[in-house]
Structure 1
Amino acid sequence: MAHNEIDVEAPPQAVFAVLADPRSYARWVVGSRKIRRADPDWPARGSAFDHEVGIGPLTLKDSSEAVESDPPRLLRLRVMTRPLAVAWVTLRIHPSGGGARVEMDEVAADTRSRLFFNPLTDPLIKLRNAESLRRLKALAERREPLPDGPLPPRGSAAEGDVQGSSAPASPS
């Protein structure tokens, strides 16, 4: 299991506001290339968004589903990048001083995914998630702009054009 934590100089509500905007995932999740469509009630339990992940020309189109949502404290996702892996990602947000402490856990969601999530890959996943949390922090603290513009609903033929960040957010 990969476990990461970060302190954010913004209240839990501001952190959750970023998580509640599916367009933001293209900016803060390392490897996310594009958010294509989203359920209008995201992040309600059972809602999802469609994304594109990858590096360079190698991309996969799949989705992430909210399996538990308790604003502004908790968001648990089933993240799919099939055929490679399916993961449970849990984000817990705790008040801390005048800001928030964000904890992120990522584990394999099925037997096949355990081939990808193992003691050898955990350090790499932990590094990726540390960078993802650093980007989430920059968005929640408003040091980086949140994406704007419409995002088509899931089930439509249209795709959104919310791209990932080409350059990482500035260091904190």
Structure 2
Amino acid sequence: MTTTDLEIPRPPDQVFGVLADGWSYAGWVVGATHIRDVDHFWPEVGTRIHHSVGAWPLQIEDETVVQAVDHGKSLELHAKLWPVGAARIRFDLAPTATGTRVTMTEKAVSGPGSLMPEAMQKVFLLPRNRETLKRLADLVVHGDQG
């Protein structure tokens, strides 16, 4: 499992507000290029974001499904990307004196990535996940101004 974290200078409810906006995912999730649809009750368990990954015309269309949610505290997702596989991604939010510590964990659970040793998964996932959290922070702090 690959873990990375970042402190965002905003309270957990504000950070979770961005996580709870499925339409914002293409703005901060590295690799997501287009959100085609978001289920009405997102991010309730079982709801989905229907997304595209990659550059047109070579886009792959798939979905991300909520596995668990504790509003304001955590969100666990099952992100699919056929034919590459799927990953379990979890965001945990912890209040700090100056904002929120966001911890992102990811593990490939199917497909070729799941056959790689964890150390090799980290080589690919850690830089991507650091950038994802930086983009999340920018969106939380600056919103649509950025």
| TM > 0.5 | yes
Question: What residue in structure 2 maps to residue 3 of structure 1?
Answer: 3
Q: How does 1:1-172 map to 2 (within 5 A)?
A: 1-55=1-55, 57-110=57-110, 112-115=112-115, 118-141=118-141, 143-145=142-144
Please list every run of 5 or more consecutive structure 1 residues that lacks an aligned counterpart in the other structure.
147-168
Higher strand share: 2
TM-score between both structures, scaled by the size of structure 1:
0.79
What is the distance in 2 between the residues matched to 1:119 and 1:62? 27
Aligned pairs, how many? Answer: 146
Identity among equivalent positions (%) equals 33
What is the distance in 1 between the residues matched to 2:123 and 2:56? 22
- Letter of the structure 2 residue corresponding to residue 59 of structure 1: Q
Higher helix share: 2
TM-score between both structures, scaled by the size of structure 2:
0.92
Q: Report the more deviating stretch, 87-96 or 114-123.
A: 114-123
Please, what is the CA RMSD of the aligned residues?
A: 1.8
What is the distance in 2 between the residues matched to 1:80 and 1:118? 19
Runs of at least 4 residues off by over 2 Å: 55-58, 110-113, 115-121
Q: Post-superposition shift, 1:144?
A: 3.9
In the TM superposition, what whole-angstrom CA distance separates every residue of 1:74-100 from its partner, at most 9, and x where no partner exists?
Answer: 000000001102000000000011310
Please list every run of 5 or more consecutive structure 2 residues that lacks an aligned counterpart in the other structure.
none
CA distance 1:127–1:55, shift in 2 (3 Å) = farther
What is the distance in 2 between the residues matched to 1:25 and 1:117? 28
